[in-house]
Amino acid sequence: MKAFIFDLDGVIVGTDEYHYLAWKQVASEENIYFDKKINDRLRGVSRMESLDIVLERADREYTPEEKQILAEKKNDIYKILLANLTPGDRFEGVTETLEEIRKKGYKIAIGSSSKNTPFILERLGYRNYFDAVSDGNNIKHSKPDPEVFLKAAEMLQLDPSDCYVVEDAESGIDAAKAGKFTAIGIGPAAGYVKTDIPISHFSDLLKLI
């Protein structure tokens, strides 16, 4: 293996609560029921697909134009919350583990469906830190489509079979497997049946190098 491709949210940093609060505000303003169980279904899913899930409990149909307005409103709220991120919000052991992976000669990349990836990386002090960043700004299909990971491998000039993908969401594991990557599952994805290598802590990756 020659590289590790990491999902961002839930692997490098946790912004689930920010997503939840932003969607909760949008749903409340539309008088739509929304809770953390529904929010869990949005993990690893694109913004517009997430909105469709949120709107499942709406008592009316929304036009494409209305949906776009709601999606933009959610993202505006989310970005305001993201401004609170600092390097101290990186998950425990992430930076130290990434440094060891680099020292062993592996390339590292981000593969995230989020269009806010550049902003999040900058807030975390990781701007220009990774060898490649593939995100929602350069893909047409979100996970479980493998496009985001395939583009990351392409940027690294590597074959998928040479890359690990580290994911916390089942949709991300599905995407990794669809792209012929070796899928490492952390958090909720560690117990997923399609996960190739389950890990409990980010630092467990050091056992693979």
Q: Residue 53 burial (CB < 10 Å; 0-12/13-18/19+)?
A: middle
pLDDT of residue 15: 87
- Per-residue pLDDT tens for 164-185? 999 999 999 999 999 999 999 9
* Same domain (yes/no): 50, 129: no
* Same domain (yes/no): 196, 101: yes
Report helix, strand or coil for 95: helix
pLDDT of residue 16: 83
- Per-residue pLDDT tens for 195-207? 999 999 999 999 9
* Same domain (yes/no): 176, 115: yes
For the entire predicted model, the pTM comes to 0.87
Structure tokens at 5: 């491709």
* Same domain (yes/no): 63, 156: no
When divided into structural domains, the chain yields a total of: 2
Q: Give the separation between CA 83 and CA 107, rounded to whole angstroms.
A: 28
Half-sphere exposure for 177 (CA within 13 Å, toward CB): 16
Q: Report how far apart, in Å, the C-alpha atoms of 31 and of each of 19, 40, 66, 129 are.
A: 18, 20, 15, 42
Residues assigned a catalytic role: 7, 9
CATH of the domain at 27: 1.10.150.240
User: What one-character-per-residue DSSP string does 162-196 give?
Assistant: GEEEEESSHHHHHHHHHTTPEEEE-GGGGG-TT-S
Q: Which domain holds residue 134?
A: 3-13+87-208
